[in-house]
Chains A and B, each alone.
Chain A
């Protein structure tokens, strides 16, 4: 990937991480860990891959994303705002009464959301149906589905996994579908390995008939390459196992099951933002002075604390 493109994606993902922390801190509840693990994948999809028009969210030829792990929708809201689906200022209405930014995605309240998810295990089936419907109509659209790792403990995922490589064959194979597993290794109660180990993951999906790719889900070059490869694959949908770090870029959240579903308190949120921006504690006052946008976000959070 050209250096400029890489730097652009890194910068967008950094901004989105800040927004994720900002909106969750305002909301006072939600899921930071998985939002931070999936954000590099969503950033790549929205800013280096998918075709869409934020002014026409119902454009029939758009590419679609089904975020099956619906609890990580703050990550999706952050990229959607960045992409122009709605103003960034609205992000802090997350989970508030009357906001279209529901705690888990609502397709009707927020145009651009493709499916209601949040009851885990259902997104892949819907993605299959979408991919099939688009193929039947000869549309060029691609469908992306992001699964959580713990989510694949749900039986419906395996019904869909078994069907996907066969559905639509031979005339309308679902090679317009690409599934990405956000393999961060942690679910609500504990580490996935401790609750119900998924291994061997690759062998399972392979046995179900999927072409497989395995990547670092925080490496934009690897993500992009895998998406290229998926797009070039004919006859079958592709499954990408993306190894990720839950809570990525915030030291005290990384790899800690505690941060699956707990919002940061204002001071924690501010510290998280500083870490995301890679600013040392000593340099923080100067950084805030030099960066008005960040300063405004931080001041908002400080004000929250006084409430």
Chain B
């Protein structure tokens, strides 16, 4: 299976699901070509609405459509859609409107466009809202299943997707389960909990670490909210050391969520790898290297954490 961006997998999945479920509608804010909803809009022009560059209105219209019985997907860049936090907070979360919020272009891996286009704090914002689950799939297979799940899920939900292609990481028979984290590689010395864009690099880092005599367990935490508490506490108990890896701010993202959980339930040393401060323009590979999210950076971070 070739590498594919999760936004592209989303576009394909929603096109297919749209044929089966007429309740599915899409609301865009002039980024169809980027959020990959053009095919849906072409196939179902009566169920796709482009409201122009007006994300708050897009979210509110989505809420209204949901209240009228539709299953709306409101789509934009992660930073733009979650940036309209107050509208999500009241029109979607508090109203309990069945809106599926899709944020693409997550993380610094969007590259050249620079910080203002990067979703780096979206997980932190939405983690604070009472009833919006956060799902960040790591490859094509998982994305397609997560989109199908989003349709079934009764209530709002946030899908965090990437611009860049993602190498396959899930086994061929993988079944996405809401609220479940999946061990992709066993290991007893340290647990690497990763999500989304840099997950593949975390697996590569584990290979490198093996060469250094460190057996790292790698866990795909695609469901960031709710967390798979049992699995994560289990990994922490087994290994005694936890490293989180994410293309998001280390403040309030996966690392924050895992730290909060372990501090209360099973205090364990945690190292958060991710973004600190603003992002910047550059080539995605170079950015991951600079921010320590390439395989070498992750391996280095783990070794330093383990004092090796």
Contacts and interface: CB of A to CB of B under 8 A. Distances in A.
Interface string B59-97: 111111111111010000000000000110111001111
Contacts of B60: 122, 124-126, 128-129, 156, 160
Contacts of B61: 125-126, 128-129, 132, 160, 163, 167
Interface in A105-148: 106-108, 114-119, 121-122, 124-134, 136-137
A172 interface: yes
Contact of A162 (B52, B59, B91): B52
B67 A171 contact: no
Contacts of B69: 60, 133, 137
Contact of A129 (B52, B56, B72, B96): B72
A155 B91 contact: no
Interface stretch (B2-10, B43-51, B164-172): B43-51
A300 interface: no
A159 interface: yes
Nearest to A128: B61
Interface residues of A, number: 35
A131 B61 CA distance: 9
A127 to B, nearest CB: 6
A130 B17 CA distance: 22
Contact of B65 (A122, A133, A160, A162): A133
B237 interface: no
Given A107-B96, A159-B54, A163-B52, A122 B91 contact: yes
B67 A115 contact: yes
A273 B10 CA distance: 59
B57 interface: yes
B57 A156 contact: yes
Contact of A116 (B25, B47, B91): B91
A106 B93 CA distance: 11
A108 B64 CA distance: 15
B70 A126 contact: no
A106 B94 contact: yes
Contact of A136 (B46, B52, B89): B46
B51 A163 contact: yes
B56 A159 contact: yes
A117 B46 CA distance: 28
Contacts of B70: 133, 136
Contacts of B97: 115, 126
B65 to A, nearest CB: 4
Interface string B274-285: 000000000000
Contact of A125 (B49, B59, B89, B94): B59
A159 B63 contact: no
A159 B57 CA distance: 6
A171 B65 contact: no
A125 B57 contact: yes
Interface in A150-186: 155-156, 159-160, 162-163, 167-168, 171-172
Given A119-B86, A163-B51, A167-B61, A155 B56 contact: yes
A28 B215 CA distance: 64
A132 B65 contact: yes
A118 B95 CA distance: 11
B91 A126 contact: yes
A16 to B, nearest CB: 25
A184 B275 CA distance: 49
Contacts of A116: 90-91, 94-95
Nearest to B57: A159
Contacts of B62: 129
A133 B90 contact: no
Contacts of B52: 159, 162-163
Contacts of A128: 57, 60-61, 64
Nearest to B59: A125
A117 B72 contact: no
Contacts of A124: 60
Contacts of B68: 129-130, 132-134, 136-137
Contacts of A159: 51-52, 54, 56-57
Contacts of A130: 64-65, 67-68
A159 B70 CA distance: 22
Given A117-B90, A119-B90, A132-B49, A162 B64 contact: no
Nearest to B62: A129
A94 B131 CA distance: 25
A167 B63 contact: no
A128 B70 CA distance: 13
Task: Please give me the 9 A-B residue pairs with the lowest Cβ-Cβ distance, nearest first.
Answer: A129-B64, A125-B60, A133-B68, A159-B57, A159-B54, A129-B61, A130-B64, A126-B64, A156-B56
Interface of A: 60, 106-108, 114-119, 121-122, 124-134, 136-137, 155-156, 159-160, 162-163, 167-168, 171-172
10 contacts: A60-B69, A107-B95, A115-B97, A129-B65, A129-B68, A131-B64, A134-B68, A136-B46, A137-B68, A168-B49
Interface of B: 25, 46-47, 49, 51-52, 54, 56-57, 59-70, 72, 86-87, 89-91, 94-97
Given A115-B91, A126-B95, A155-B56, 6 more contacts: A116-B90, A119-B87, A125-B56, A128-B61, A136-B47, A137-B68
